[in-house]
Amino acid sequence: MKKPYLKEFPNEEGFFGKFGGAFVPEAIAKQMQEINKAYELIAQNAEFIAELRRIRTHFQGRPTPIYFAKNLTNKYGGAGIYLKREDLNHTGAHKLNHCMGEALLAKFMGKKKLIAETGAGQHGVALATAAAYFGMECEIHMGEVDIKKEYPNVVRMKILGANVVPVTFGAKTLKEAVDSAFEAYLKDPINSIYAIGSVVGPHPFPRIVRDFQHIVGLEAKEQFLDMTGELPDKIIACVGGGSNAMGIFSAFIEEDFIELIGVEPLGKSKLDSVKLGEHAASLSYGSEGVMHGFNSIMLKDGDGEPASVHSVASGLDYPSVGPEHAYLSSIGRTKVMAINDDEAIKAFFELSRFEGIIPAIESSHAVAYALKIAKDFPGKKLLVNLSGRGDKDIDFVVENYGYGDSVK
Ligand SMILES: Cc1ncc(COP(=O)(O)O)c(C=O)c1O
């Protein structure tokens, strides 16, 4: 009998087909194996599962609802548009789903300190929250460019007691933040743990983060059936590293009549003139390569090094993508689309003005794609993973785009 997808992938070495693995120095490989062993143990442990469930219900406020966006559905006149409201998860995004799990794992392993990178600051805020909850130290590495852009989240991290380390080299965004956090982790891998912020990094992180995010898809499936009597026709999620997308997709992979659509950031480019350096659509325009300890699809410069990338959304601004996304798109199970900065910002205002929900700019990419295709699919149902809320983005948006008065 065929194994269920989630049991089959990744394999024991952390591969999804040829993607994934753990391309790290030997000392770190040993740490990764220990983390994997500890995870295998607690994932079967009734006490751990019960504690995570309690946290999700009483601390995070799960389940998050599904909302039928009736005003936008009427405005666009085609498919029904539904939102899985991860913006209502405590701390305002899906990131807390894996942070509480990672911190619980760290506590079980006797670690004292949580270290991570952050782009938009949502993973940083979520990890600082988890550290406060469990009484652990927390160190967050963040590019100087993102510190300026996502300042409200920097303030939140500091109030929560985290040490925010500004990253001042290279493009000073997400990739450099990962480099810097990894370096800090290497200094003391015994007492600290690198609680990575997406389904990226060396094995076992892509699996661990996916498993902790799986709750999003599980809830969505039951809720959508309850609400509409059927399953959605298409599920749409933005893809940076890919954790919110894997969270929702992972519960629907075996229902192959449902289209799973990942939306990447096309940045300043347009579909008919895509320029390297202007976007971060790794799956759409990248090629196979190893970065940050895993084999996946990445955007490379002329020397084969990670290319510089751009997106208006700090959380999508990454030159690679989780290995499971590389695998699922290579076998045709997921479809990958791209939305540019202007389309995302327009969707940011549309959802704000027509539904009363201010979305994160990251999530606005998924919303924009749903709005783009809705009219072509009358009678169908689109489920968008609204991965986060946009409070962190409002200063940046208003400064650069005004109040959206042109949105009618
Ligand atoms: C609200 C929100 N959505 C999506 C992302 C992208 O991450 P991922 O692709 O891992 O879901 C981020 C990253 O910071 C985020 O803050």
**366 in the same domain as 257:** yes
Mean pLDDT, residues 1-21: 95
Asked if the structure places residue 144 within a domain, the reply is: yes
**271 in the same domain as 294:** yes
User: What CATH number does residue 81 fall under?
Assistant: 3.40.50.1100
Asked if the structure places residue 39 within a domain, the reply is: yes
**302 in the same domain as 260:** yes
Asked if the structure places residue 253 within a domain, the reply is: yes
Query: Does the pLDDT value for residue 323 go beyond 80?
Result: yes
Mean pLDDT, residues 315-340: 98
The last residue of a domain, from among 206, 234, 265: 206
Mean predicted lDDT score pLDDT of the chain = 97
Ligand 1 center–CA 387 separation, angstroms: 7
pLDDT digits (tens, 9 = 90+) for 157-180: 999 999 999 999 999 999 999 999
d(CA 385, CA 197): 17
What pLDDT sits at residue 300? 98
pLDDT digits (tens, 9 = 90+) for 253-310: 999 999 999 999 999 999 999 999 999 999 999 999 999 999 999 999 999 999 999 9
Asked if the structure places residue 8 within a domain, the reply is: no
What pLDDT sits at residue 2? 82
**292 in the same domain as 149:** no
The last residue of a domain, from among 163, 179, 206: 206
Query: Does the pLDDT value for residue 325 go beyond 90?
Result: yes
Q: Which of 238, 336, 361 to mutate to test the pocket of ligand 1 (most atoms within 8 A of CB)?
A: 238
Q: Has 329 been annotated as catalytic?
A: no
What pLDDT sits at residue 27? 83
Residue in 84, 107, 113, 117 annotated catalytic? 117
What pLDDT sits at residue 17? 98
**158 in the same domain as 222:** no
Nearest CA to ligand 1 atom 14: 315
Asked if the structure places residue 406 within a domain, the reply is: no
**269 in the same domain as 200:** no
Asked if the structure places residue 7 within a domain, the reply is: no
pLDDT digits (tens, 9 = 90+) for 340-388: 999 999 999 999 999 999 999 999 999 999 999 999 999 999 999 999 9
**299 in the same domain as 170:** no
**80 in the same domain as 110:** no
**248 in the same domain as 152:** no
**142 in the same domain as 125:** yes
Query: Does the pLDDT value for residue 11 go beyond 90?
Result: yes
Residue in 95, 113, 175, 346 annotated catalytic? 95
What is the domain count for the chain? 2
Asked if the structure places residue 2 within a domain, the reply is: no
- Under the banding of pLDDT at 50, 70 and 90, the label for residue 407 is confident
Q: Which atom of ligand 1 is nearest to the CA of 388?
A: 1
Pocket of ligand 1 (CB under 6 A): 93, 119-120, 122-123, 198, 238-244, 315-316, 360, 362-363, 387-388
Domain range for 144 is 16-57+95-206
Query: Does the pLDDT value for residue 1 go beyond 90?
Result: no
Q: Which atom of ligand 1 is nearest to the CA of 200?
A: 10
Q: Enter the pTM of the model.
A: 0.98
Ligand 1 center–CA 82 separation, angstroms: 19
Q: Has 139 been annotated as catalytic?
A: no
What pLDDT sits at residue 23? 98
**332 in the same domain as 277:** yes
Asked if the structure places residue 390 within a domain, the reply is: yes
Q: Which atom of ligand 1 is nearest to the CA of 120?
A: 14
pLDDT digits (tens, 9 = 90+) for 51-62: 999 999 999 999
The last residue of a domain, from among 172, 190, 206: 206
* DSSP category for residue 181: H
What pLDDT sits at residue 109? 97
**193 in the same domain as 286:** no
